[in-house]
Every structure is written in C-alpha cells, then in structure tokens.
Structure 1
Amino acid sequence: MIDAMLYHRLRPVLDSVVKPLVRAGISANTVTTVGFVIGLGVLPALAWQHYDLALLCILLNRLSDGLDGAIARQTQVTDAGGYLDSVMDFIFYSAVPFGFLLADPSAFGAVAGLLMFSFMGTAATFLAFAILAGKHGIANPNYPNKSLHYMGGITEGFETIVAFIVFCLWPAVFPVTGSIFAALCWLTALTRLYLGFQTLRRLPSVGEKESPEGS
C-alpha cells in the first residue's frame, strides 16, 4: 500500500550504499541470488523454532532485495535480472508460511496453508496483469525502472515484511495474525482482479491493434 512512497524515499539511500559494491564489480544478480539463499534459511530456522534467526534471515533477504535493484540502476537493468528477482521473491514469500507449518503442524498448519493459498491469489493477479500490461504498454510511473508492471494493493512488499516480523516476534499468536493477513491478501487479490479486468476490458486486444487497416 505504501511501497511506491518508500521506493522513492529509500532509493537515494540505497543508491549511495551500493556504490562500493558497484566499484567492486558485484552484480545485481549475484546479490539477488545470495539474498535468496540467505532467505531460504528461514525454513530450517522456523522448523527448529529459532524465530530470532528466522527474523534475521527475513531482514537480510529484504535488504538484498533493495540492494540488487540499486546496483542494477547503476549498471544495467535487464529483463533477465528482473525475472530472476521476481521468481526468487515469490518463492521466498511462500517459504515463510511453510516454515511455520514445519514449526508446529498441528497448531500452525491450517493457517500456514491458508497463507500460501492467499499468496497464490496475490501473485496470480499481480503477474497476470503485469504480462498484459507489458503487451499493451500500460504506463508504470511509480516504478519506471522496474522490469515488471507493479500493480498496487493493500498487501504489498512492505506490509508483507511487517507481517513476517510480527509472526516471528510473536509466534504463539501466528494463527490469529496469519489469518488476519490472509484475509487482507484476499482483499488485495480480489481488488486487483476487479481493477485489472476493468482496465483490460476497455483496451483493444493486441491482435486488433496490430491488424492492418481494411483487413
């Protein structure tokens, strides 16, 4: 919900922080991959109920997600890098609820499954619209350097990380906090579905736009 505002406020800070990394020749894809591996450490950490370690993995992963974009802006923004970043982000997001399922299947399993189900809804509505937005050249003014069109919602990146932090700080109430966040995710997914459909239905199909006159 506030990702666009944070993006513009944090961008100058991140651009300054990554300058030594750029000079050292460290690529954005390297930072993306290392951050992803660190982020997957959340699985064993949660499975063994080391919630403080899980929180550290989450924060380091999200830091790397900011750094890789800043490096890309100062070197070269590529579709391949954007693809790698997006895929690894979505896998990481689903790893957190799965980790809680491993921590205590009887207490956390149902809500963890509900969260993964909810993430499928937010991811599907986000990615499907991004594909078609790219085909139609729909402007993305809030994120001009992003490889994919970013469709907003109540639960964006910032809200998801806040939820993950809450889960790790107060794991005993995960069934409650996880359920609340899952409901917000579905509200986001349904809103995106409606707005995306209404936007696209007003546009001509790509085939119609490319048809020669008089055909």
Structure 2
Amino acid sequence: MLDAAMRKLIDPPLASAATVLKKAGVSANAVTVTSFMPGLGAAIALGFGEYALALALILVNRLMDGLDGAVARQTVPTDLGGYLDIVGDFIFYGAVPFGFAVAAPEANALPAAFLLVSFIGTGSSFLAYAVVAEKRKITTDIRGKKSFYYLGGLTEGTETIVFFIACCLLPQNFPILAWIFGGLCWVTTLTRIAAAATTFRD
C-alpha cells in the first residue's frame, strides 16, 4: 500500500549511491547476492534472541535490496537479476518468522506458522499475477521500473518491514503482531485474487 509513496522518498538517495557503485564496477547482481547474507544473518540472530542485532541486519538487507535495483536501472537490468532479487526476498521474508519461532517455540511457533502460510498467500498471488500479466503484455511503472509486473496490496514491502521492525523492538509481542499482520496479508491475497478475476476474465 505504501510502496509507491516510499519510492519517491528513497529513489533519489539510492540513485546517488548506485552511481558510486556503478563507477566502482559493482554489478546489481553482486549487490543482490551480497544482500542475502545480512538477511540470513538476521534470521540466525533472531533464533538466538539477539533482537537488536537482527534489527540492524534486517535494515542492512532491505537497504541493499533497494540498492540493487537502483544499480540495475543505471546499467542493464537482466532477467537473472530480477529472478535473484525476488527469490532472495521471499527466502528472507520466510526466514524472519522462522527465527522468531526458534527463539521462543512455545509462544511463537503457531503464530509464526500462520504468518508463513499468510506469506505464501501474498507471494503466490503476487507471482501468479505477474506471470499472467506478462503473458497478456500488461505493464505498470507505479513502483518504478521492475523486471515483472508488481501488483500492490494492503501489505507490501514497506508494511512488512515496519512489521519486522516492530517485532524486533517488541519481541514479547510477536504472537499478537504475527496474528494481526498475517490476517492483513490474507486481505491482500483476497484483493489480488479479486483483481485477477476481473483483469484476466476471458
């Protein structure tokens, strides 16, 4: 819901940083692959209950996730780059709830499982829509130039990161936060299904 508005704020500084990386010969794919390390590290830190460290690594991961796209836009975007980016994103999104479940399984395992199922709903509805949109040559640039169609929703990247930050700052409240955010994810999934039913109707 907030991604389009956030792009107006973050694109200028990301473009400046991308210019520096481009001059240094750093490729977008290198940034994408490197960004996976702090994302994985965040999940490990969560598992050990190191919430402050996990928060810092989550922020680094998300910064680098935005930076790889900025570098790609200043060079040559590739299909492999788009593929690596989305695969890394979804592994990261799944790893964070898993880390909370490991940290406190009795309290967190069930809400984390619900959150993962909810993420599967948002992820599958997002990717399936993109596949059919590509087949039908439907395009959009509301969230900037992307490798494939980005369908919005109530819970997009910005909202998910705010949720992760809240969970790291208030880890004792992870269960209730996970139940609430997971429910909002299902609103996103259902609205995307409704959009597909309208757009793709033959």
Provide TM-score, normalisation by structure 1: 0.92
Instruction: For residue 143 of structure 1, report the CA deviation from its aligned partner.
Output: 3.4
Q: How does 1:133-144 map to 2 (within 5 A)?
A: 133-144=133-144
Point out the more displaced range, 163-172 or 37-46. Answer: 37-46
Deviation string 1:74-127 (CA, Å, 9 cap, x unpaired) is 111111100110011001000000000100111100000000000000000000
CA contact (8 A) 2:41 2:57 kept: yes
Q: Displacement, 1:196?
A: 1.2
Segments of 5+ residues of structure 2 without an aligned counterpart are none
Amino acid aligned to 2:26: I
Q: Which residue of 2 aligns with 1:104?
A: 104
In 2, Cα distance between equivalents of 1:41 and 1:69: 22
The Cα shift of 1:148 comes to 1.3
Which residue number in structure 2 is paired with residue 51 of structure 1?
51
Could you tell me how far apart the structure 1 residues matched to 2:143 and 2:106 are? Answer: 41
* Whole-angstrom CA distance in 1 between matches of 2:191 and 2:20: 41
State the 1:144 CA deviation: 4.8
Please tell me whether the aligned partners of residues 3 and 143 of structure 2 are also in contact (alpha carbons under 8 angstroms). Answer: no
Unmatched runs of 5 consecutive residues or more in structure 1: 203-215
Mapping of residues 147-166 of structure 1, within 5 Å: 147-166=147-166
Which letter does structure 2 place at the counterpart of 1:190? L
In structure 1, give the amino acid aligned to 2:19. K
Deviation at 1:7, TM superposition (A): 1.4
Alpha-carbon separation, structure 1, partners of 2:79 and 2:195: 26
- 8 Å CA contact 2:7, 2:144 repeated in 1: no
How do 1:164-203 residues align onto structure 2 when only pairs under 5 Å count? 164-202=164-202
The number of residue pairs the alignment matches comes to 202
1:73 aligns with 2:57: no
Q: Could you give the per-residue CA deviations for residues 182-212 of structure 1, whole angstroms, max 9, x where no partner exists?
A: 000011001101111211014xxxxxxxxxx
- Supply the AA of the counterpart residue of 2:72: A
| Corresponding residue of 2:32 | 32
| Amino acid in the other structure paired with 1:157 | G
Q: C-alpha offsets along residues 9-38 of structure 1, whole Å, 9 cap, x if unaligned? A: 321221112211111101111111111111
Structure of higher CA gyration radius: 1
Range with greater deviation from structure 2 (153-162 or 38-47) = 38-47
2:175 and 2:10 mapped to 1: Cα distance?
A: 32
SS of the equivalent of 1:18 reads: helix
Query: What is the letter of the counterpart of residue 29 of structure 1?
Result: N
User: Identity of paired residues, percent?
Assistant: 51
Residues in 2 aligned to 1:198 and 1:135: alpha-carbon distance in whole angstroms: 16
- Letter of the 1:40 counterpart: L
Query: Following the alignment from structure 2 to structure 1, what is the Cα–Cα distance between the partners of residues 104 and 12?
Result: 41
Contact 1:77–1:145 (8 Å) recurs in 2: no
The alignment's TM-score, normalised by the length of structure 2, stands at 0.97
Runs of 4 or more consecutive aligned structure 1 residues displaced over 2 Å after TM superposition:
none
Q: CA deviation at 1:141?
A: 2.8
**1:29-69 deviation per Cα after TM superposition (whole angstroms, max 9, x unaligned):** 11111111111001220111000011011100000011101
1:207 aligned residue: none
Is 119-128 or 189-198 further displaced after alignment? Answer: 189-198
